[in-house]
Every structure is written in C-alpha cells, then in structure tokens.
Amino acid sequence: MSLVMKFGGSSVADAERMRQVAHLARSAASQGALVVLSAAGRTTDALLVAARHAESGRIEEALAGHQALQRAHRALAEALFPEGIPSGLQRALADLDDELDLLLRGVALLQECSPRSRDAITSVGERFSTRILAAFLGAPWVDARKVLRTDATFGAAQPQPEALRTLAREHLASHLHPGSLAVTQGFIGATSEGLTTTLGRGGSDYSASLFGAALEASEIQIWTDVEGVLTCDPRVVPGAQAIPELSFAEAAELAAFGAKVLHPATLEPAVAAGIPVTVRHTLRPEGCFTTITAHPGTGRPATALACRGPVTVLTVTSSRMLNQSGFLARLFEVFRHHRTSVDLVATAEVSVSLTVDADAPLDRLRADLEAFARVEVAEDRAIVALVGERLKATPGVTGRAFGALGDLNVEMISMGANEINLSLVVRHDEAPEALRRLHAAFFEEAP
C-alpha cells in the first residue's frame, strides 16, 4: 500500500527546506509515496495581492508582484540546480509565467476578478513548487486537476469522491509501486469541463486525505512546522506537550475549536477509509509526532485544550418558551435566514444562550429575534474547549475544571452531544489565563 506525504508552504519555503522534503520523500520511496505540496512560503498571498491590483486596474503593480514571484522561484530552482536549471523545468516555469501574465492582464482589462479567475491565478503557486520539486527528485509530475474532480463552486469546491477514485487509478496508481515517487499539488482541482478550482485556504491537507482515500493508502502524513498536535497552543502555554495519539473524533473537535494544525475537513476522507493520519515536523523527522486513528487514545481524562474567539453570546429570553412547541424552530430559523452558524447552545426554561462568530450580522439578527423575545448581547467572548474521549467516563471533570478556573467567571457551559468536549465561555481577554489554569490542572498535575 502506498503512502501519502503532504508538505505545507513553510516546508518548501527555501532551497534548504526543499532539500529536506526531498530527503524525506526518498526515504519513504520504498513504500511508493505520493508527495502532495503546497505553494512555497507566502506565494498564495502574493498571488491574491497581484489579482487585487489587476482587478483595480493597477496592472503595473500586479505585474511587479508576478515578477517578484518569478525571481523567487527562479532563485529556488537555481539553488537546487547549481549546474544549471534543466531545460524541461525551464520550459515548465516559463509556461507558468506566461499563463500568469495572461491571467493578470485579462483581469486588468475587464477590471473584474471572478471566483473562477481567482482560482486560476492562485493555482499557479502549487504548480510552481511541484514542478521544481518533481525535477529535483527526478519523479513524475502529476497535474492534480486531472485527478481531483470537483464541482464548480470556485474558491470552495466540493470534491466528487467516486470520480476521484477512478481518476486516481488512471493517473496516479501506476506511479506508486515500491521504490517510486510521484509529485502533485494540494489545494487545487478541476471540474469535469477542465476548469481550475480550489478547495479553499488550508485545502492542501484535504487534498492529501482525498488522495489517500482514493489510493487506499497505508498512511497519510501531514508534515508541518510543529511536532504533532499539542495539548494547547504553545504561544499561550509554553509547556504544551505533544500528544502521541488522538482519535478522529478528538482531532475533529480540536480543529473545529481553534487548533491550528489540521484543516477541519481534512479527516473526513481518512475516517471513511480507516486510514491513519500522522502529523509530523519536517525539520525534526525523528522527533515527536501524533497519530490520528479511529481508536481513542488512553491515559488522562482530557486529551487537549483549544480556544476560539472572539465570539459573541446571544441570550434569547421569552416566557412563551415555557411548555411551547416550535419556539426553538422559530429561533433557529432566524439564524438560517441570515446564514449564521451557531456554535454552542445552552437552554433553560425560558431562555436560550448561543454563540456566533464575531463577524455575524448582529444588528439584523437582533432585530428579527426581538420580534418575539428579549435579546441580550455579550461581545468579546471566547470558547475554551477541553477535549477528550475519556471525559464521559471520568467522574468529577466539571468540578476539576471549575476548581482550576477559580475566580475566572464562566458565562456559559456546554457538554457536547458526543460527550468528548466540555466547552466554557469566558471573556476573550481572560481566555489565555483560563487555558493556562486548565492545562496546569489536567496536563501538569498527576491525574
């Protein structure tokens, strides 16, 4: 069974790091490895800036951005090939330069950058980086747009798994026998008509998982700049510890509640296919890493902490809730109408508290809700989530959490329906202290 190895932009930001990626890929070639690459460094951001300049009619600024990217990728290739860039790679890079130049000039001419055009422009970054790595490895370069079939929702395309499986067998499987490597792009795909699409920011992880599922891979490796998933954000808790093993459910909860390592959708194809996902540090391949499987980890009652904020808490109160059917349906219809996602919900006899993102349309939500209830709004809050498969089987977790928080005021509490997530709402400026206290109680003290 083959292996899928995904490397993010920081892993291929310069020649030294790309050499390390090549070393890791060659070390895994005995299994037959598909290398999935992001754009190098901040390339995607630079492409988006160039697209905005072009849309505003500032073609010289757009082309200056393109030329800066051109120089950066030429310098990367020259550093990897000191004897001279191979002619095939030179032609491939020149073709990409011509394509990007044409796209930017077209946007500038129309002074319009549609989602379709934006996808075409941003896809160039992954094609630059993969062309260079494939040439350096001497490995086949596979255009992901021939494999990752999607719908036409440009900017957030939805994959079509059945078509993807067929196309993976056709375009990828033949390259992945023991001792071989192939290189392709994350983030990008195409419609059945051949129009370039993207999966959204962070979509390279998702691409790797989709390819892994389609190929029935033995493992999907996500190589990044941290040693696996940590028990907390190390910028807040310097003593955060690497987690050896996570369940799929735990990883999904952590991703949804603010953990930065994994794209929230990454795990879905892997879960369905039963393929383990490992999160590893590109520059410390022998260091700690996290394995994510269908089986829960063991040990402490809690596995990790995550935090998301700022969020806003809306408390909706009405005496008409009491013993009345249909009230909650009417309440949530308001949020559906305004296309606003609700995160946490806590109910009482005559009130409902819920959280929404800070950029939710509060004025419109409040106006519609006040047609049938009283509404209180508390802004600048944060959700602190304590996640662990063993929470539901460990008595006293809530008391332990509140004991650790001490004088910090918890304004809302929710135990997830799956009982592996204890979520607490606190003031946003108190969230770092809440994380430190909870981490000390659950991860630094004896269980």
**pLDDT > 60? residue 417:** no
pLDDT in tens, 117-135: 999 999 999 999 999 999 9
**pLDDT > 70? residue 296:** no
Contact assessment for residue 296 and residue 389, using Cβ atoms and an 8 Å cutoff? yes
Please tell me which of 49-53, 255-259, 334-338 the model is most confident about, judged by mean pLDDT: 49-53
Instruction: From residue 377, give the alpha-carbon distance in Å to each of 149, 243, 356, 370.
Output: 43, 37, 11, 12
Name the pTM for this structure: 0.84
- When pLDDT is cut at 50, 70 and 90, the band that residue 322 belongs to is low
The residue with tokens 């809530």 is 398
- When pLDDT is cut at 50, 70 and 90, the band that residue 27 belongs to is very high
pLDDT for res 298: 59
CB-side exposure of 223: number of CA atoms within 13 Å? 28
> Could you tell me how far CA 201 lies from the centroid of its own chain?
7
What 3-state DSSP class applies to 279? strand
ω into 276 cis (within 30 of 0): no
pLDDT for res 446: 55
Task: Give the Cα separation of 223 and 215 in Å (integer).
Answer: 19
Q: Which of 323, 384, 316 is closest to 351 using CA atoms?
A: 316
Phi/psi-derived region of residue 175, left when phi > 0, alpha when psi is between -120 and 50, beta in every other case? alpha
Percentage of the residues of the chain whose pLDDT score is greater than 90: 65
The residue with tokens 């609700």 is 342
Q: Which of 5, 32, 30, 31 is closest to 20 using CA atoms?
A: 5
pLDDT for res 320: 67
Token pair recorded at residue 165: 């499986």
Task: Give the Cα separation of 284 and 296 in Å (integer).
Answer: 25
37 vs 247, which has greater pLDDT?
A: 37
Task: Give the Cα separation of 169 and 178 in Å (integer).
Answer: 16
pLDDT in tens, 89-102: 999 999 999 999 99
What angle separates helix 431-439 from helix 397-405, to the nearest 10 degrees? 130
pLDDT in tens, 404-415: 999 999 988 887
